[in-house]
Amino acid sequence: MVTVKVPSDPVYNPSKTYSGSYTSDRIYYGSPYNYNYISQSQLKCEDMKARIPEVGVLKSYRMAYKRKTTGDWVDFDGFFNGFFVSGQDVDCETDNNSNINIDWESDTTLRDFYYGNYLNWQNSGDSTVEMTRLEVMQGVARDLADTITGVNIGLMAFDTVGPNGGWPDDQYRGEGGVILEAVRPVSESRADFKAAVNALGTDTNTPLSETLFGAKRYFEGGNPFLSQPSSQASNAMDGNSYKSPIELECQSNNIVLLTDGDPTLDSNHKTFIESVVGGCEGNCLDEIAGYMRNNDISGVHKGVQNVTTYTVGFSEDAPGSLLGMTAKAGGGKYYKATDAQQLAGAFDDIVRSVLETSSTFVAPGIAVNSFNRLNHFNALYYSVFEPDTRPLWEGNLKRYKISDAGKIVDVNGNEAIDPVTGFFKDGAQSWWAQAPDGKAVTAGGVRSKLPDVANSRKVYTWISGRDLTASTNIISTSNTDALTKSLLGDSSMTE
């Protein structure tokens, strides 16, 4: 059992107005006792308008406001001493408003936003209740689903049935894990995810490595491991095989492994697991995580599709050494939590880490000495992109250097690549950048040298004449007499 501090009402009731020092319909952000706020009259974000009165808080959320003087959309840093946004429109990334000219990933900060009524409820007085660890986990997981945005989530749990439909002896009931909710956008899956979390029970063993191996099979689009196809969520299956959640090249794929105890009934299939991931020292959990981190998990897509593993030990008895080694091998981080606040903090930190890991890059190009093809210069150029669900990906061209020792270094001579993540280090500074640009795709690079005002640029092609900059060669809607549909290859296209 866990002792949990809760407000006077154990559950936030959005239909009730709580008294307190916060204006009930304002949106607050920042830190306690130093909150900034947004008034409802300024809020243009339809997603926030609909959700935050009901759930009370939105976490890892991106917002910006429109400056009165310039009309630019900017982050909340540096306005009116940081106390409030006065009179300006405020909008969010989630609405995907095409009229807002801002790079959400690099120009705004992930923040938590609170409804005033929710803060009054949160500060309405403490009482304590006794809850099981399962009940605490269920509450934190439900809150997570309600408050996060812009990620895909799913749920896998230890199997309670097993490959043969159950066992006569409870000692052998359930090996491996089962997909209870397929990975899909949280905006679509909130209700189903929370229902699956609420239905979790304690009548199971903790086969950690077998379950993680089953998760590997899920990402691969393989067959369930030690679990019946009929036990899986129907939308996770394609016949008797899993439907892989990897849908895009270079998307971020992550597993959060939560346990409150040591592995049990977890060694019966060690030999088979070793035949895939290699020899294991003790439990195979960390070797499986390392395999998913360092190998291509999906042959359907070009490039390397790997999986990062985070681990959370939710009790004093959780196997911290094993979970720590697993997170390190899997490229993630290990968290220890003993109460609801620590568990929620671990989940929040993991979500932020996932949302902030956005960049990918293609193979670098080397500058060639055109006078002596036997020599190369030491400049190294990377084309970097920011994956998105939309067709247009933000990109940049960044320059680094190969040192005499064969290392990739930045403009300051420091090693630029993080050996754990394979991305640029946070403190790396490419050529032309005015400050460390790390894995921020749109910061620094050639992009920083482009004119600030994009709509003043003119783009030309050659249609006729000797003057490329003639008005008949400009690519513009004003040049439809020369830039015809037929010239573009489709005379039937719409205007």
> What are 364-396's pLDDT values in tens digits?
554 544 444 444 568 888 888 876 545 567 788
Backbone angles phi, psi at 59, to 5 degrees: -110, 150
Where is 178: in which H helix or E strand? Answer: strand 177-185
Residues 320 and 228 in one domain: yes
Distance separating alpha carbons of residues 277 and 370, to the nearest angstrom: 46
| pTM score above 0.75 | no
Per-residue pLDDT of 4-59, as tens digits, reads 666 667 778 889 999 999 999 999 988 777 788 888 888 999 999 999 999 999 98
DSSP letter string, 281-339: SSSSHHHHHHHHHHS---SSSSS----EEEEEE-STTS-HHHHHHHHHHTEEEEEE-SS
Is 440 contained in some domain?
yes
Residues 293 and 436 in one domain: no
Per-residue pLDDT of 398-418, as tens digits, reads 999 988 888 899 999 999 988
> From residue 338, how far is each of 144, 318, 343 by CA, in Å?
18, 10, 7
pLDDT mean across residues, the chain: 84
Count CB neighbours of 19 within 10 A.
Answer: 10
Q: Please report, for the domain that includes residue 306, its CATH number.
A: 3.40.50.410
On whether the CB atoms of residues 4 and 94 are closer than 8 A, the answer is: no
**pLDDT score recorded for residue 123:** 86
Residues 35 and 116 in one domain: yes
DSSP 8-state secondary structure symbol assigned to residue 251? -
pLDDT at 168 over 70: no
Residue ranges making up the domain that contains 492 = 458-495
Total structural domains within the chain: 4
The label of the residue with tokens 């959060």 reads 256
Angle CA 173–175–179, to nearest 5: 115
- Residue where a domain stops, chosen among 328, 356, 384: 356
Is 127 contained in some domain?
no
- Residue where a domain stops, chosen among 104, 122, 140: 122
Weakest-pLDDT range from 155-169, 246-260, 427-441: 155-169
Dihedral class, residue 282 (left if φ above 0, else alpha if ψ from -120 to 50, else beta): left
DSSP 8-state secondary structure symbol assigned to residue 51? H
pLDDT at 143 over 60: yes
Residues 219 and 161 in one domain: yes
DSSP 8-state secondary structure symbol assigned to residue 47? H
**pLDDT score recorded for residue 205:** 85
Can you tell me whether residue 110 is helix, strand or coil?
A: coil
- Comparing CA positions, the residue from 79, 74, 50 lying closest to residue 62 is 74
On whether the CB atoms of residues 156 and 177 are closer than 8 A, the answer is: yes
In sequence order, the 6+-apart residues with CB closer than 8 A to the CB of 211 are 156, 158, 159, 176, 177, 257
Above pLDDT 90, what percent of the chain? 40
Is 471 contained in some domain?
yes
Region 440-449: mean pLDDT is 86
